[in-house]
Amino acid sequence: MVYVPSAKESAHFPVLKRAQDHVRIRFTALESLLKDPKGEILAARAADRIQEAISPRKVFNPTVPGSAEDEIAVYALSRIMASCINDRQLIDRLTRYESDRAYYFLVNEEEWNQNYKQEDGEYSRLCIALAGELGIRITQDRMPLVDYVELVAPLHEDRFRLVNRRLDKGSVEIRKDERYELLRERIRLLLRRDLPHKVPSSICERLAPRATQLKRAYQDQMVQQFGEIQEHAFPPCIHALITALAAGTNLTHAGRFGLTTFIHAIGMDTRAIAELYGRSPDFDAEKTMYQVEHITGRGGSSTEYSTPACAAMRTTGLCLNRDALCERVNHPLSYYKVKKREAKKEARKPEEKGSGEKRPVKKNPEERT
Ligand code: SF4
């Protein structure tokens, strides 16, 4: 039987094909939509959605405001707006937000939706139908090995490793709660793969005031988040690049790119970055400034490049001297954040010992980034 999501399910899971059809319809008429008051309201809600996505703490509202159709339009507009901003990290934040939101509904809907409560197991059928819509073969308690391997590749937790799984005739056994996690990952991948959209410049111009505001808010937040620069918290790959520079080694293009985008993201200004390259044997101040400004989006182009994730660093041979913390992150900036946070906790310990107070250890949900 063909699965037809209800209006509410479409609003909760706008990644579904039905919602994408909706996006196509809207995209053709987007310019005229944005000109009318309704379009303005939807654009404001789309900007709010991105703002929520970039906030450090995410709170999902179980009640979707307005109609399901509006909700899907807001989802689509937020993706269009993020494409106009065209910042890779912001796009990553938005796709993670959307997949976390879908996960929230998957996990919680069971508890507050009376319809699903009436018949035990109904929710499982929704989950399986969603998986089918999203192109993964998942049943009550297993999925094909080939699908599983592809899906868990970016996940770092040990329990997802094949050596820790029970295999049976080409399938991998999975628990109910893991099914939701795997669906979340699938949604994240699908959403990330499609972005950025190629948006006509006339539409980006119309969205520009909100997009500029969001970009500024995101940059301010990044600076706040990373705070004071602490070199001891740099990941091993970045240490290796700085050590190579200090030893007078010429960095490869990928090395310069990785280092520049990293130290720019944590708040070092363009001139200080260029100075760091001063020890390079082929140092050329003007050329270095030009390259740095180009990468950091200050040199005429508005594109600000993002720091490559660990997977990309590995591909270019820059993932060096991995340590235990590297096992828990998939981005050099996540490494830096976690290490700073842990150093801060360590520094606080003597005070806590002194007061004899024991504090509960909370796992930060952002750690797996
Ligand atoms: S795993 Fe990531 S953070 Fe660690 S060294 Fe490799 S690229 Fe750097």
Q: How far apart are CA 75 and CA 240, in angstroms?
A: 41
pTM of the model: 0.64
So what's the pLDDT on residue 214?
93
What pLDDT sits at residue 351?
59
Asked if residue 102 lies in contact with residue 19, where contact means CB atoms within 8 angstroms, the answer is no
Please give the pLDDT value at position 120.
Answer: 44
Provide the residue ranges of all domains of the chain, joining segments of one domain with +: 7-213, 227-340
- Residue 259's contacts (CB-CB under 8 Å, 6 or more residues apart) are 238, 241, 242, 245, 251, 276
| Nearest residue (CA) to ligand 1, atom 2 | 310
Q: What is the pLDDT of residue 114?
A: 44
For ligand 1, whether the C-beta of 94 sits within 6 Å is no
Q: List phi, psi (to 5°) of 345.
A: -60, -45
184: its two tokens = 């979340």
* Ligand 1 pocket member 236 (CB < 6 A): yes
Q: Convert the pLDDT of each residue in 301-331 to its tens digit.
A: 455 678 899 999 999 999 999 999 999 999 9
Distance (angstroms) between ligand 1 centre and the Cα of 25 equals 42
Whether the bond into 37 is cis, omega within 30 of 0 = no
CA of 205 to the centre of ligand 1 (A): 38
Q: How far is the CA of 322 from the centre of ligand 1 (A)?
A: 6
Asked if residue 326 has its Cβ within 6 Å of ligand 1, the reply is: yes
- Say how far apart CA 334 and CA 69 lie, in whole Å: 36
d(C-alpha 14, C-alpha 8), whole Å: 10
Angle at 28 between CA 25 and CA 93, to 5 degrees: 75
- 3-state DSSP helix/strand/coil percent for the chain, to nearest 5? 65, 0, 30
Pocket probe for ligand 1: among 261, 310, 369, the residue whose CB has the most ligand atoms within 8 Å is 310
Does the Cβ of 234 fall within 6 Å of ligand 1?
no
313 Cα: distance to centroid of ligand 1 (angstroms): 7
Number of H helices, E strands in the chain: 17, 3
Q: Which atom of ligand 1 is nearest to the CA of 236?
A: 5
Minimum-distance ligand 1 atom for the alpha carbon of 314: 7
**With a cut of 50, which residues of the chain have pLDDT below it?**
112-121, 300-301, 356-369
Distance 54 CA to ligand 1 centre (A): 23
Ligand 1: residue whose CA is nearest its atom 3: 332
What number does the ligand 1 atom closest to the CA of 331 have?
Answer: 2
User: Is the CB of 240 inside a 6 Å radius of any atom of ligand 1?
Assistant: no
Strands 167-168 and 142-144: unpaired
CA nearest to 123, candidates 136, 141, 132, 111: 111
Residue-level pLDDT at 24: 61
Cis peptide before 196 (omega within 30 of 0): yes
CA-CA-CA-CA torsion for 116, 121, 122, 123, nearest 10 degrees? 70
